Structures are given as structure tokens and as C-alpha cells.
Amino acid sequence: MDVEGPGQRVRIYIGEQDKAAGSHRPLWEDLLSLLRREGAAGATMFRGLAGFGAHSRLHVARLADIVPDLPVVVEWIDSPEQVERLLPRISALVHSGTITVDDLTIVKHTHRASERSG
């Protein structure tokens, strides 16, 4: 899907180990799966090295950490119509975290022909 023009960026700030109710997968995986299944233009998960949220506890990646609960951000860019359609479902999955929406202009969003079927 090629998207250009007015768009929106949704950022979802959550913990790496957060899960949706009834799911065994990390919440970020469930969010990406939902967005892909519903035809979103594109989304990426970024893993933070350190951060804190509403609880003000600092989470820091250290070599000795076996299973850290680091901050992650799922960033999704799409048309305002897609964001309006999917955001309520995304919001319902996020029980602890922050969701922001920014207006932007999508200058170019294309993919290689070989990726169209994947």
C-alpha cells in the first residue's frame, strides 16, 4: 500500500514484558500483529535501553540482567482514517502505558515489489 499526504504517527509506550489480557505473547507482538492483520501502513517496535513511566521507576539495561523489563515503543504511521479506525482497538489492549498521536505529512511510503506478497 502506498500512502502519501496527511498522516498520523501513533506512539505506544509500554513495558517489554507487558501482555494483553489472556495473551501469552508480549503486548508489542500482539499490537504489531493486529496492525499488520488490519492493513496498517507500517509499524515498528523500538526497545529502549533505559526509561521510566508514570510509576517513576527507572528501568536500565545491564549486562547482568537476564530478563529485563525495559521500555519499548511501538511506532505506527498511517492515514488519519486508519488511525481513527484502529486506535480504539489498540487502546483497549494497552492497560498500562502511554499512547500519543501526532499529525504529520507522509512524503513517501512505498515498498519493493518482492515485499508485496509478504
Q: What is the pLDDT of residues 72-117, one digit of tens each?
A: 999 999 999 999 999 999 999 999 999 999 999 999 877 776 655 5
Indicate the pLDDT class of residue 55, thresholds 50, 70 and 90: confident
Residue 118: inside a domain: no
- φ/ψ of 104, rounded to 5, equals -155, 175
Residue 52: inside a domain: yes
CATH code, domain with 51: 3.30.70.120
CB atoms within 10 A of CB 7: 20
Q: Where on the phi/psi map is residue 63: left (φ > 0), alpha (ψ -120 to 50), or beta?
A: alpha
Residue 15: inside a domain: yes
Residue 117: inside a domain: no
Residue 26: inside a domain: yes
Q: How many domains does the chain have?
A: 1
What are the pLDDT digits (tens) for 35-53?
Answer: 999 999 999 999 887 777 7
Which residue range(s) make up the domain with 82?
5-61+68-112
pLDDT on residue 41: 93
- φ/ψ of 103, rounded to 5, equals -80, 145
pLDDT on residue 90: 98
Give the whole-angstrom CA distance, residue 85 versus residue 103.
16
